Amino acid sequence: MRIAIIANGRGGKKKKNRLAETKQRLKNNRIDYDLHITTHHNHAMEIAMGLPAENYDAIASFGGDGTNFQILNGLLISNDPSALPPLAILPAGRGNSFAKDLGIETMEDGWSALARRRPRAVDVCRFTQGEEKRYFINLMGLGFVTDVAKTAARLPWAGDASYVAGVIHRAMTLSFHWMELELDGKIIRGENCFVEICNSTRTGGDMMMAPLAKIDDGFFDVVVLSPLSRRSLLNTLPKIFTGTHGENPAVSFYRGKSLKISTDPVKPLLPDGEIFGSTPSQVDIMPGLVRYFS
């Protein structure tokens, strides 16, 4: 077996130790590899676009949700999806949200999934930016959640707690915007706090944003938060870790296959933890588009 590993080059001693351990595990399992380490933002996408994918039995992401997002987009932009080998995740990021829906909670799980070599077909969400098409596999948000992510990015040392800190900080200047969704022909409009379009269950590590979402059911789940008070928002925050935030009447859940979204004012998008693009956009589910080891 020969694999390509694209590793996020940002990080300290802990990440370097994990990478060294990964090399040893691959050697022990007689897995040959080519290692590519990123040096700048979007480098993972550039590397993935240039990979001769047909030469590998798997392509692995060593990083978090953002690294996986870049690799997925690089591969899908430059390859026919049907020709891609299975993908793998070695979770070395802050959140690693999507990996957990694959049953990969730890680095040990990631190594084991590679060794088992059992690929699983997984849905992918495609979204538009003008004439361009891009992809996400975990979830894409806008509004309050994007503001939270910007704050969390400034606190990498805090791990999962950086998202909680971001919520508390952004709640102090809570604001709303107008949005319109067209979900499989149904119109949903009004003042809005945030929208999350979810292919998998989690965000920010262990926050169960869409507790009923499945990565292979041919649908995405949409979570809409209507205007609410700061107190209500902060009281609801702990419930997201158990997936019971829907008890708040401001939270609505939908499910669909195609979505058009527009906002006033224009809002930046947050696909798989990366700030990329803006409204308006269209999102479509692509059932079973790629395979991941799990």
Domain at 86, CATH number: 3.40.50.10330
Residue 209 is predicted with a pLDDT of 96
- Please give the average per-residue pLDDT across 119-144, as a whole number: 96
Alpha-carbon span 212 to 243, nearest angstrom: 9
- What's the pTM value of the predicted model, to 2 decimals? 0.92
Same domain, 175 and 86: no
Q: Which of 18, 16, 8 is nearest to 41 (CA)?
A: 8
Query: Which of 37-51, 137-151, 159-173 has the largest mean confidence?
Result: 37-51
Alpha-carbon span 284 to 124, nearest angstrom: 9
The Cα-based distances of 79 to 60, 143, 151, 227, 277 in angstroms read 16, 32, 35, 42, 22
| Model pLDDT for residues 148-201, shown as the tens digit of each residue | 888 877 777 776 677 778 878 888 889 999 999 999 999 999 999 999 999 999
Half-sphere exposure at residue 80, Cβ-oriented, CA atoms within 13 angstroms? 3
Residue 273 is predicted with a pLDDT of 87
Same domain, 201 and 283: yes
Query: 88 is in which domain, residue-wise?
Result: 2-117
In SS3 terms, 222-240 reads as EEEECCCCHHHHHHHHHHH
Cα-Cα-Cα-Cα torsion 245, 246, 251, 256, nearest 10 degrees, comes to 120
Query: Which of 62-66, 153-157, 281-285 has the largest mean confidence?
Result: 281-285
Tell me, yes or no, whether 125 lies in a domain.
no
Residue 159 is predicted with a pLDDT of 66
- Please give the average per-residue pLDDT across 60-80, as a whole number: 96
* Percent of the chain with pLDDT strictly greater than 70: 99
Whether 270 and 67 have beta carbons less than 8 Å apart is answered as no
DSSP class of residue 81 equals G
Same domain, 29 and 75: yes
Beta-strand ranges (E) seen in 105-235 are: 119-129, 132-136, 139-143, 177-183, 186-192, 194-198, 220-225
Please, is 133 exposed, middle or buried when counting C-beta atoms within 10 Å of its C-beta (0-12, 13-18, 19+)?
A: middle
| Model pLDDT for residues 227-269, shown as the tens digit of each residue | 999 999 989 988 999 999 999 999 999 999 999 999 999 999 9
Q: Which of 231, 236, 235, 256 is nearest to 246 (CA)?
A: 236
Residue the block writes with tokens 């084991």: 112
Same domain, 103 and 217: no
Same domain, 86 and 145: no
